[in-house]
A and B are shown apart, each in its own frame.
Chain A
């Protein structure tokens, strides 16, 4: 039978794991989702610990919350922290039926699993004593399930190749050096002095803010095209307005 303490621990941790998993699913922002996943994995790791499987519990936390989540966060940072997906549902009935069916599935599984009754005590202490928690696992991984373990490596190879095939943009031509760039500019007589810098304002100075041209219009060329593609270009209007305000204060103050 499960001890009371273990039961308490299970229900608390399980609740945390499920709720944070739902956060992963429903959060609008990638960072929140990442947090939800990390928390869920930690809770699961703790459940393993409570089940007398310390190695598994710790590895679980290490691998998922440590390694995988870090990679995930790197990606999130590269993509842009404030990048949020549109969650507007366009298909009629999709939300409703998803909810209904998900709840139905949960209900069906629970009615089945809820009827189950295990007898006897689940206790790993004998195994943990001899041969020990880690050796026992090693015995399974390198013994009975060695074939599965080895074959899993093919998944990693596939993943690596898939990454290469789908994401690696190889250059077909050598990258132009700065010298070549300037030669090209002069030869074509366009932007001989280089493209304009981003905007530099009294109160603001950033790469995402376009520069103003002498006539007051915005110079589109002054912004990196990656930022432009991501739609992360800041509008210089507020800075210009502030400047105009100062200007006005100065001139008005003079006339006043």
Chain B
């Protein structure tokens, strides 16, 4: 053997935030094994908070400037990846605060006391009365966060695929852990898992085809290969591109790969739904942006029409389907589909401003979404969440603060000026108009129409909450300080990003340049 083994260059500062979260997750696993059940909740919460904060600090203090490829090209630290990682960590932090809500009970309120117990069985009941809880949710979520952070910073398709699985697998499990309506939750988890695997298969197959085309899974090498254009291998390129993108579009819930979204969102514990909606979307869009702008932009004329059609379809179907929804969580799920369409409009501009527009949109949408789902957890009927819209009637008078806060979220979703929704839509649509050509302009028109439809739905909810008489037994319960903080941050940012979006938009613009 005359070829020496060469270790890859590892820039530890660049991957330090990832390592911090991995470490936090492992500590969380150990906590499950060694800490007494009674104190696990608090310990896990502490570990989670410290981990996310530490990762955020490391990211902003050190990794931010460590631009470049590391780990042999598996990890790319550049503007978008740093920005998106930071936002993912912020979302995780807020979501954790909401997930840890106990409402005065011994364990996190959203999670089942024992996932393995048959729903409705004696075992489940006794576990509940013993004050058990699924504290494993915290390390699971941290693993998912690692996957998300890696997803937006992966430099090759293999890393991207593993990151996709790392982020998805814990989410499948978390989806099945709702405390109430267990069967619905388990069914949702299974559906999410099956369809997620289905889409992963498409991604993997596409990645294999692209490897066959380029002889490498590196995104940069694929871009080079596309630039060099070898007609004999062309048969691999387009199917490969399409399948890889389909795998990613599944994660953002783009039509027609959206069918899992309402069911999974409805079944999952509500704080997890908020986390999924905000963080998964940002991770998946990070990956889509990197692939579309760095790897596959060379032949974008070939595949762009399909993505344009998907964007249009996503906006229209997402918006139209909100109209007949009667369940708040399902409604927000369809709204998240429509929002995915709006972000795709920004992606389709193929300009650096499109990147910053999409990233800004994701930030705005995420904060509002987490707050909105956190507010959904507060509205209760006989102890369990009242998610049926008819139950929300008259909430505005019984619990004006919660209803008012939810109304602000809805106004932001509707894109009313002075909320983040408006500036976000502007930031997303403006690049499409100036750089997207005729298709971009048409997409914007469709987007405006679709948001008009959704706005109607949101206003109808506001009307239901404030102007209709409702049964008096649906009330909003008072959350703990932590949840209150999370909701307040979400709301304040919803307003602040609408009034003074400058700094964040500036940051997004500064970090919109991909490293090629």
Chains A and B form a bound pair? yes
Asked if B147 is an interface residue, CB under 8 A from chain A, the answer is yes
- Whether A169 contacts B114 in the complex (CB less than 8 A), given A130-B2, A145-B74, A154-B146, comes out as yes
Q: How far is the CA of A166 from the CA of B169 in the complex (A)?
A: 13
Asked if B159 is an interface residue, CB under 8 A from chain A, the answer is yes
Encode contact with B along A102-140: 1 for CB under 8 Å, 0 otherwise.
000000110111111111000000000011100100110
Q: A130, B117: Cβ atoms under 8 Å?
A: no
| Minimal beta-carbon separation of B272 from chain A (angstroms) | 13
- Whether A154 contacts B22 in the complex (CB less than 8 A), given A143-B8, A159-B169, A161-B140, comes out as yes
- Give the residue of A135, A142, A158 whose beta carbon is less than 8 angstroms from that of B166: A158
- Give the residue of B7, B73, B147, B234 whose beta carbon is less than 8 angstroms from that of A154: B147
Q: A145, B158: Cβ atoms under 8 Å?
A: yes
| Minimal beta-carbon separation of A238 from chain B (angstroms) | 34
- Give the residue of A117, A130, A155, A165 whose beta carbon is less than 8 angstroms from that of B116: A165
- Whether A155 contacts B166 in the complex (CB less than 8 A), given A117-B232, A148-B74, comes out as yes
Encode contact with A along B82-99: 1 for CB under 8 Å, 0 otherwise.
000000000000000000
Asked if A177 is an interface residue, CB under 8 A from chain B, the answer is no
Residues of A within 8 A of B7 (CB): 143, 146
Q: B123, A169: Cβ atoms under 8 Å?
A: yes
| Minimal beta-carbon separation of A223 from chain B (angstroms) | 20
Asked if A87 is an interface residue, CB under 8 A from chain B, the answer is no
Encode contact with A along B115-127: 1 for CB under 8 Å, 0 otherwise.
1110000010011
Q: B235, A147: Cβ atoms under 8 Å?
A: no
Residues of B within 8 A of A130 (CB): 1-3
Q: How far is the CA of A164 from the CA of B114 in the complex (A)?
A: 10
Q: A162, B173: Cβ atoms under 8 Å?
A: yes
Instruction: Find residues 155-170 in chain B having any chain A CB closer than 8 Å to their own CB.
Output: 158-159, 162-163, 165-166, 169-170
Q: B123, A147: Cβ atoms under 8 Å?
A: no
Number of interface residues of A (CB under 8 A): 42
Q: Which residue of A lies closest to B165 (CB)?
A: A155
| Minimal beta-carbon separation of B412 from chain A (angstroms) | 33
Q: A116, B123: Cβ atoms under 8 Å?
A: no
Q: B72, A142: Cβ atoms under 8 Å?
A: no
Q: How far is the CA of A159 from the CA of B170 in the complex (A)?
A: 8
Chain B interface size, as a band, is 35 or more
Asked if B25 is an interface residue, CB under 8 A from chain A, the answer is yes
Q: A172, B74: Cβ atoms under 8 Å?
A: no
Instruction: Find residues 54-78 in chain B having any chain A CB closer than 8 Å to their own CB.
Output: 71-75
Q: A115, B234: Cβ atoms under 8 Å?
A: yes
Q: A165, B136: Cβ atoms under 8 Å?
A: yes
- Give the residue of B22, B136, B170, B235 whose beta carbon is less than 8 angstroms from that of A113: B235
Q: B71, A146: Cβ atoms under 8 Å?
A: yes
| Minimal beta-carbon separation of A40 from chain B (angstroms) | 15
| Minimal beta-carbon separation of B165 from chain A (angstroms) | 6
Asked if B150 is an interface residue, CB under 8 A from chain A, the answer is yes
| Minimal beta-carbon separation of B294 from chain A (angstroms) | 19
Q: A147, B173: Cβ atoms under 8 Å?
A: no
Q: How far is the CA of A152 from the CA of B71 in the complex (A)?
A: 15
Residues of B within 8 A of A135 (CB): 1, 5
Asked if B233 is an interface residue, CB under 8 A from chain A, the answer is yes
Asked if B496 is an interface residue, CB under 8 A from chain A, the answer is no
Residues of A within 8 A of B233 (CB): 116-118
Q: How far is the CA of A162 from the CA of B29 in the complex (A)?
A: 12
Q: B5, A113: Cβ atoms under 8 Å?
A: no
- Give the residue of A113, A146, A162 whose beta carbon is less than 8 angstroms from that of B72: A146
Q: Which residue of A lies closest to B70 (CB)?
A: A147
| Minimal beta-carbon separation of A228 from chain B (angstroms) | 16
Q: B239, A112: Cβ atoms under 8 Å?
A: yes
Interface of A, secondary structure class, is helix
Asked if A202 is an interface residue, CB under 8 A from chain B, the answer is no
Residues of A within 8 A of B238 (CB): 112
Residues of B within 8 A of A88 (CB): none
Asked if B488 is an interface residue, CB under 8 A from chain A, the answer is no
Q: B116, A115: Cβ atoms under 8 Å?
A: no
- Give the residue of A138, A157, A165, A172 whose beta carbon is less than 8 angstroms from that of B134: A165
Q: A158, B170: Cβ atoms under 8 Å?
A: yes
Q: Which residue of A lies closest to B209 (CB)?
A: A113
Q: How far is the CA of A154 from the CA of B166 in the complex (A)?
A: 7
- Give the residue of B1, B74, B140, B177 whose beta carbon is less than 8 angstroms from that of A158: B140
Residues of B within 8 A of A117 (CB): 232-233
Q: How far is the CA of A155 from the CA of B3 in the complex (A)?
A: 32
Asked if B352 is an interface residue, CB under 8 A from chain A, the answer is no
Asked if B6 is an interface residue, CB under 8 A from chain A, the answer is yes
Residues of B within 8 A of A217 (CB): none
Residues of B within 8 A of A118 (CB): 232-233
Asked if B341 is an interface residue, CB under 8 A from chain A, the answer is no
Q: Which residue of B lies closest to A159 (CB)?
A: B169
Q: How far is the CA of A132 from the CA of B170 in the complex (A)?
A: 38
Q: How far is the CA of A152 from the CA of B159 in the complex (A)?
A: 9
| Minimal beta-carbon separation of B18 from chain A (angstroms) | 9
Asked if A230 is an interface residue, CB under 8 A from chain B, the answer is no
Residues of A within 8 A of B396 (CB): none
Residues of A within 8 A of B132 (CB): 172
Residues of A within 8 A of B3 (CB): 130-131, 139
Encode contact with A along B225-242: 1 for CB under 8 Å, 0 otherwise.
000000011111011000
Q: Which residue of A lies closest to B123 (CB)?
A: A169
Q: Which residue of A lies closest to B217 (CB)?
A: A145
Asked if A144 is an interface residue, CB under 8 A from chain B, the answer is yes
Asked if B176 is an interface residue, CB under 8 A from chain A, the answer is yes
Residues of A within 8 A of B2 (CB): 130-131
Interface centre among A115, A151, A170, A172 (most CB of B within 10 A): A151
Q: Which residue of A lies closest to B127 (CB)?
A: A172
- Whether A113 contacts B239 in the complex (CB less than 8 A), given A146-B8, A154-B22, comes out as yes
10 A-B pairs with least C-beta separation: A115-B235, A147-B71, A112-B235, A147-B74, A144-B72, A162-B173, A112-B239, A165-B115, A116-B235, A169-B116
User: Can you give 24 A-B contacts (C-beta < 8 A)?
Assistant: A113-B209, A116-B234, A131-B1, A135-B1, A139-B5, A144-B72, A145-B74, A147-B8, A148-B74, A154-B146, A154-B147, A157-B26, A158-B169, A162-B140, A162-B169, A162-B173, A164-B136, A165-B116, A165-B134, A165-B177, A167-B116, A169-B114, A169-B123, A170-B114
The interface of chain A, by Cβ under 8 A from chain B, is: 108-109, 111-119, 130-132, 135, 138-139, 142-148, 151-152, 154-155, 157-159, 161-162, 164-170, 172-173
